[in-house]
Amino acid sequence: MLNRIVQYSLRHRGVVIALGAIVIGYGLYVTTRTRLDVFPEFAPPQVVVQTEAPGLSSEEVEQLVTLPVETELNGTPGLEAIRSQSIQGLSVVTLVFHANTDVFRDRQMVAERLSEAVSRLPQGAGPPRMGPLTSSTSLTLVMGLTSTNRTPMELRTFADWTFRPYLLSVPGVAKVDIFGGDIRQLQVQVKPDRLQAYSLSLDQVLAAARQATGVRGAGYLDTPNQRVVINTTGQALTPQQLGEVVLVARAGLSVRPNCAKSFVTQEGGERAAKGYVVPEVGLPWPEWIKT
C-alpha cells in the first residue's frame, strides 16, 4: 500500500505539489483568523448565583436559602451538575452546564428561574444575584496604587470613581474589585453617656443622619407656559454640616450632634489601594491586558 502511494506521488508530481499548496494556503488562511489566547477557555460554562442572608447561621442558610434556590434551578436545560456552599450570611450556588451549550443562553435561563425563587426566600434575605461572566482563569491581574503626597482616602476615591470605570471599559474585563485605602464616608460615633444626658435614643440619631444625608425628589410645579422641576438642596456633605443637624427640638431649643459631642470622623487605614482584575469569558487575554 505504501509503495503504491510513493509510486503514484512520483508519477504525478504536479498533483502532489498542487495539493500541498492548497493545504499550505488553507493553513495560512486559518492561522490569520484564529483567535489565539494565552489562557484558553478549558472549563465548561458555569453560572454562579450568590444570595446574601444577614444574620443567618450556616445551617439556616442551607435550609432556608440554598435549598430553595437549588430546587428552583434544578432542571434547567443543559444543566450537568449543581454545587452549593452555605456559609454564615451567604449562599453560593454554582451551576455547571454541558460544554456544547451557549453560556449566554444558560445565563438567560437561570435569570428567568431566579425570578421565581425570590418569593420562596425568608424575610431579610437579599435577592439571588448572578455573578459576572468571568473566564475560567478568574483572577488575572493584581495592581496597586501608592502615593507619597496623597491620602489613603484620595487614593481610594480615585480608584473607585476614575480608575475602576476605565478598567471596566476595556473589552474583556468582566470585574474589578478594589481593596484597601479609606472609603470616603461620614461616621457618627455615639457616646452613650451623652445620649442619656439628653434623653436621646440611637434610633433618633440614625433617623436624623439618614434624613440629613438622603436625596429626595421635590416634584414639579406647573405654570401656564412650562413645568418647572424642583430640586432640593441641603444634603449634608461635610462633617461640619452633619454636625449641625437637629436631633430633637424641645422647648424652643435644638439638640445637635456638635453640642452633644457625639459626632466624630475617622481617617486612616491601609496606605495603598489594591485592584483585582477578572477577565471576561470568550475574549483573548492579550487584547485587553495590553490596552
* Single-letter amino acid, residue 2: L
Measured between alpha carbons, how far is residue 45 from residues 48, 115, 133, 209 in Å? 10, 21, 10, 46
Quote the domain boundaries for residue 211. Answer: 192-260
Indicate whether 178 and 273 sit together in one domain: yes
Helix (H, G, I), strand (E, B) or coil at 129: strand
Indicate whether 279 and 211 sit together in one domain: no
How do the pLDDT tens digits run along the chain, 291 residues long? 788 887 888 888 888 889 889 999 998 888 777 655 555 566 788 899 999 888 888 899 999 999 999 999 988 899 999 999 998 889 999 999 998 888 889 999 999 888 888 888 888 888 898 888 776 666 677 888 888 888 888 888 888 889 889 888 888 787 788 877 777 777 777 888 877 877 888 888 888 888 777 777 778 888 888 988 887 776 777 777 777 777 777 766 677 766 544 444 344 444 455 555 555 555 554 454 444
Cβ atoms of 274 and 250 within 8 Å: the answer is: no
Does 92 reside within a domain?
yes
Angstrom distance (rounded) from CA 226 to CA 221: 9
Does 123 reside within a domain?
yes
Angstrom distance (rounded) from CA 269 to CA 179: 11
Does 88 reside within a domain?
yes
CATH of the domain at 173: 3.30.70.1320
Residues in the chain: 291
Q: What is the model's pLDDT at position 276? A: 53
Does 26 reside within a domain?
no
Angstrom distance (rounded) from CA 36 to CA 4: 40
Residue 249 host element (H or E)? strand 248-250
Indicate whether 124 and 149 sit together in one domain: no
Indicate whether 209 and 240 sit together in one domain: yes
Q: pTM (2 decimals)? A: 0.53
- The long-range contacts involving 192-197, CB below 8 angstroms and separated by at least 24 positions, are 194/260, 194/261, 194/262, 195/260, 195/262
Does 234 reside within a domain?
yes
Q: What is the model's pLDDT at position 36? A: 56
Does 34 reside within a domain?
no
Indicate whether 146 and 282 sit together in one domain: yes
Does 30 reside within a domain?
no
Does 37 reside within a domain?
no
Q: What is the model's pLDDT at position 25? A: 92
- In this structure, what are the phi and psi dihedrals at residue 54, rounded to the nearest 5 degrees? -60, 135
Q: Which cell goes with 188?
A: 457618627
Taking CA 289 as the corner, what is the angle to CA 285 and CA 291, rounded to the nearest 5 degrees? Answer: 125
Helix (H, G, I), strand (E, B) or coil at 46: strand
Residue 286 host element (H or E)? helix 285-290
How many domains, the chain? 3
Angstrom distance (rounded) from CA 83 to CA 246: 51
Q: What is the model's pLDDT at position 82? A: 92
CATH of the domain at 234: 3.30.2090.10
Q: What is the model's pLDDT at position 103? A: 87
CATH of the domain at 63: 3.30.70.1430
